[in-house]
Structure 1
Amino acid sequence: MAVGKKDIECPPYAEGTPLSDADIKEKRVTYVEDHPDIRYSWTAGQAISKFLNGLKEGKILGVKCNKCGRVMVPPRMFCELCYKPIDGWVELKDTGTVETFSISYIDPDARPLPEPVIVAVISIDGASPHMGIMHILDEVKPEDVYIGMKVKAVWKSEEEREGAITDIKYWKPLEG
């Protein structure tokens, strides 16, 4: 078998002796147990952090490119069409349009769901076309969902919000 630039023979299997719980309990093998106190922090970046803070306040924030005029959600720090840095923020409505959707009958672990979940990409009203966020639709039957459907955000209560996309519980059809 060639590995890199060298020919190395690798056995098809490696012999060994399996360990049992008794081997460890009776200290027939040497091991070290440790419980380190590891803490970490991360940042979502300037644009997404401000977007998430807006969600905590019940607002959908986007950015506007002052060169080409695009309004982008989710926000980013530069316009990928004209490469201009972004510094203008806009508050958008919590309504939008279903761009595309999928009906899922399984959960993330591929287990069947008792009821299907509708996942959609939603273009936010006031943002540039064909740009949106992925979220859940509810208060609608799967057979009644369609591309172009107008929807409205259903928010968690102010006390429950934590600065996450899940501060919007789901999107529901906009009546009228």
Structure 2
Amino acid sequence: MEHDPVEHNNSKSKRSSNNYAGIEVREDDLRDGRYMSIRYSARFRYRWDTGIAVGRFLEGLRNGKIVGSRCKVCKRVLVPPRIFCELDFAQVDEWVYVGDTGSVNTYSISYIDKQARRISNPVIVAVIELDGASQGMGIMHLLGEVRPEDVHIGMRVKAVWKSREERRGAITDIMYFKPL
């Protein structure tokens, strides 16, 4: 669908091939001061309610324990915990502790950091199926104290926790998982 030409600097010009409504602003318009462009990164402080399940999970982490929930219907142990089972939609209100040991379900070796910069020492991210949780239940976290070439699916690992004084009730209370 082609739109009518638009007025731009008192001359008729066709809109670019994207056919968006409005006036096309070109690079020279910005450079010549016809329009102004401002880049701004807002910083906001906020609080959010973690809810029952995530709240218990984070409280457990602060205490050096990993909390899951057990479905009354299918008996699965869900980690991170949930307040309902996504398979049978049953309410879940039984809280259980699972191990801080488990197996690597999948992993990725990244030579790019969080700011998208290349790094020479890779970051290894894995999904850990925790002991005591149902199959397929796990958490994504970092692996440490292991060379990339030694990581494999099924590798047994254990959580390395921050000291009790350093814990804040966050997933980062576990610094990483290391091989057993």
| TM-score range relative to shorter protein | 0.7 to 0.9
Shift of 1:126: 0.5
Q: What SS is found at the alignment partner of 1:50?
A: helix
- In structure 1, give the amino acid aligned to 2:24: P
Matches within 5 A, 1:71-86: 71-86=77-92
Matched with 2:25 is 13
After the TM superposition, which residues 87-126 of structure 1 pair with which residues of structure 2 at under 5 Å, given as runs? 87-126=93-132
Normalising by structure 2, report the TM-score: 0.78
Deviation at 1:11, TM superposition (A): 3.0
**Counterpart among 45, 48, 54 of residue 54 in structure 2:** 48
Please name the residue that 2:144 is paired with: 138
**Equivalent residue number for residue 24 of structure 1:** none
User: Where in structure 1 are there 5+ consecutive unaligned residues?
Assistant: 20-37
Deviates more, 1:103-112 or 1:38-47: 38-47
1:111 deviates by 0.6
Letter paired with 2:169: G
**Equivalent position of 1:152 in the other structure:** 158
| Structure 2 unmatched ranges of 5 or more | 4-18, 37-43
Give, in angstroms, the shift of residue 44 of structure 1: 1.7
- Map of 1:34 onto structure 2: none
Shift of residue 106, structure 1, vs aligned partner:
0.8
Q: Select which of 135, 156, 164 maps to 2:170.
A: 164
Aligned residue for 1:134, secondary structure, equals strand
Secondary structure of 2:25's aligned partner: coil
Runs of 4+ in 1 over 4 A off after TM superposition: none
Distance 2:21 2:74 in 1: 59
Q: Tell me if 1:61 matches 2:67.
A: yes
Distance 1:8 1:79 in 2: 44
Distance across 1 between alignment mates of 2:45 and 2:100? 36
Q: Distance in 1 between matches of 2:172 and 2:79?
A: 16
Identity %: 58
Pairwise CA distance, 1:43? 1.2
Residue type at the aligned position of 1:70 = R
State the AA in 1 paired with 2:167: R
- Amino acid of the structure 2 residue aligned with 1:45: G
Read off the aligned partner of 1:141 and give its amino acid letter.
R
Over the aligned positions, Cα root-mean-square deviation in angstroms equals 2.0
